Amino acid sequence: MGNVNASENGAAAAATPPPSLIQEDKNPGSLEDMHKKCKDVFPMFMEGYKFLVNKGLSQHFQVSHTLTLSNSMPSGYRFGSTYVHASRVMSPQESYPIMVGDIDMSGNLQAHYLDAPSQNTRCKMIAQIQQGKWQGCQLSGDYKGSDFTSSLTLANPDLINGTGVGVLQYLQRVTNKIDLGTEFVYQSSPQLPGGHIAALSFSGRYSGPDYSLASTISNSGAMHASFWQKCSDDLQVGTEIETNIKMQETVGTVGYQVDLPRAGLLFRGAVDSNWNVKGVIEKKLQPLPLTLSLCGLLNHPKGSFQMGAALIMG
């Protein structure tokens, strides 16, 4: 949760990792990342224009400035900051605690706090304030064993009124290629029929070094299946099917990613069964510390087209 890149010299990189890190490689990860490799291939569309500046003020502190102009999302200026204390270094890619904040001109604030009390535990807290009022919070914790991960998440817990959402997840590595997991979701609220509702889902994944086949099925009638394949160092493809039996809706998506690091070029494209075609191209404007991103969305049945552009500095 919340990886932060850390640089190391060549000697440290070539050294044999400690036993704790070798053991961590057998961990299947968290259940929420079951379909992550496939999702990462699909383009993230943004309508409008965005200008983002990232500035590192010190080894531990970084700020960002974002200016957005859009019809589909809130426009305006946002200020963000990231602080990494690095008092607990779990691996070359993980240092804790981490504090992340983001605020806009209307005072809408979202804050994250991430920590690792031990080598096997991770915890995170998210707080939101909108229009000067407390909107809600989320508390989560992970325990990573040698071959399993268990997670507990609480959203807007109110012990006095007995309301809130709880999510319990467990993912077990059965063999070197097979992972099995389950998720239990419980919500309590006076607005719900009977005052509460619960859902149970099961997940499975069969994966290798260059492929991943995952599936999730829930007693609420939702099903999700995905497949990811790394064809070469430059090309990755992915496909997924999401079905809701109660709503009688099914959406299938096929996407691909082409990464050309030598040219500083990254392209993602996808098309779904509703004939929505998405594409995102990112180009590093070397030697300047700038990245230009252009994206488009075309809906064939409606004959509509949307476009977005972003310029990232730093």
Helix (H) / strand (E) element for 157: namely strand 148-158
- Angle at CA of residue 3, ends 204 and 59, nearest 5°: 175
Domain interval for residue 131: 25-313
- The answer to whether residue 179 sits within a structural domain is yes
Tokens of 87: 């008092």
pLDDT in tens, 116-165: 999 999 999 999 998 878 889 999 999 999 999 999 999 999 888 888 99
- What is the tally of structural domains in the chain? 1
pLDDT in tens, 27-42: 999 999 999 999 999 9
Mean pLDDT throughout 248-263? 95
What's the CA gap between 120 and 143, in Å, rounded?
6
Which residue type sits at 135? Answer: Q
- The answer to whether residue 280 sits within a structural domain is yes
Question: How does strand 61-69 pair with strand 48-56?
Answer: antiparallel
The CATH number of the domain holding residue 50 is: 2.40.160.10
At 288, is the secondary structure helix, strand, or coil? coil
Position 25 scores a pLDDT of 64
Q: Is the pLDDT of residue 59 over 70?
A: yes
- The answer to whether residue 62 sits within a structural domain is yes
- The answer to whether residue 276 sits within a structural domain is yes
What's the CA gap between 82 and 92, in Å, rounded?
18
pLDDT in tens, 155-209: 999 888 888 999 999 999 999 999 999 999 999 988 888 889 999 999 999 999 9
- The answer to whether residue 5 sits within a structural domain is no
Model confidence band, residue 90 (pLDDT cutoffs 50, 70, 90): confident
- The answer to whether residue 98 sits within a structural domain is yes
Return the bridge partners of 265, or none: 260, 283
pLDDT in tens, 262-309: 999 999 999 999 999 999 999 999 899 999 999 999 998 888 999 999
- The answer to whether residue 20 sits within a structural domain is no
C-alpha dihedral, 206 to 211 to 217 to 223, nearest 10°: -160
